[in-house]
């Protein structure tokens, strides 16, 4: 029986993955965690064969947490399950020690196949991700201007999913000021969407501050 530890900051996603895993006769969920830190706290009580790990999570990204997870669970293999489809993130994850990378948009059977593959000691890349690694497309440089400390904090909160009113409340500023910071960040970094903000925040380790 292959034991799976699910690490994702969304409870609904964890519930869905648990249902998927436990529906298989040879797989079982041995634990769940909402962050890398929570997963590390469970190390003394769990012995998973596979850690199913998200990338974008509060405080510390999944990729940044891979070395600590490997140290805490030396017998486990790490499989990234993420919405982030950039070849850069795939390379970072594999370089950090992950054994596979699958997108959350993958069909259930592919996720199950990937879990089994890495549990048996293999490596698994969703086919389209493998194709991107083999033929990478040039990416435009995102960083154009430096961010102020306040803009970095606003960027971090945006990447974590906070709305302008929530950012204004957390930083004790007006909603209009929060909107202005967001606009300045997008202009300085030449970004156009929250997905690009998340990618930038991970690449610059802003989510870990």
Per-residue pLDDT of the chain in tens (209 residues, 90 and over written 9):
999 999 999 999 999 999 999 999 999 999 999 999 999 999 999 999 999 999 888 778 898 899 999 999 999 999 999 888 777 788 888 889 999 999 888 888 999 999 999 999 998 988 767 655 655 454 444 444 578 888 888 988 888 878 888 899 989 998 888 888 888 888 888 777 777 787 788 777 787 65
The answer to whether 5 and 54 have CB atoms below 8 angstroms apart is no
Q: Where are the domains of the chain?
A: 2-134, 149-208
Supply φ then ψ for residue 146, to 5 degrees. Answer: -70, 150
Strands 27-33 and 100-103, sheet pairing: unpaired
Q: In CATH, what number does 2-134 get?
A: 3.40.50.2300
Given this model, what pLDDT does residue 7 score? 97
Measured distance CA(118)–CA(197) in Å, rounded: 30
Measured distance CA(134)–CA(53) in Å, rounded: 24
Contacts of 68 (CB under 8 A, 6+ apart): 36, 40
Q: In CATH, what number does 149-208 get?
A: 1.10.10.10
What is the model's pTM? 0.67
């Amino acid at each position: 029986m292959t034991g799976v530890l699910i690490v994702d900051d969304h409870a609904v996603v964890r519930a869905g993955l648990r249902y998927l895993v436990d529906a298989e006769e040879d797989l079982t969920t041995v634990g769940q965690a909402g962050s890398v830190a929570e997963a590390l706290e469970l190390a003394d009580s769990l012995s998973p064969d596979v850690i199913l790990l998200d990338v974008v999570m509060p405080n510390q990204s999944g990729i940044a947490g891979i070395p600590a997870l490997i140290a805490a669970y030396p017998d486990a293999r790490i499989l990234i399950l993420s919405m982030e489809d950039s070849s850069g993130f795939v390379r970072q994850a594999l370089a950090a020690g992950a054994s596979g990378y699958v997108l959350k948009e993958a069909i259930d059977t592919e996720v199950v196949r990937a879990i089994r593959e890495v549990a048996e000691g293999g490596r698994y890349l969703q086919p389209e991700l493998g194709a991107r690694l083999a033929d990478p497309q040039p990416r435009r440089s995102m960083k154009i201007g430096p961010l102020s400390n306040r803009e970095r904090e606003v960027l971090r909160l945006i990447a974590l999913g906070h709305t302008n009113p929530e950012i204004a409340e957390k930083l004790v500023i007006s909603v209009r000021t929060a909107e202005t910071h967001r606009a300045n960040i997008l202009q300085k970094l030449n970004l156009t969407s929250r997905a690009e903000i998340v990618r930038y925040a991970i690449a610059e380790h802003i989510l870990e501050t």
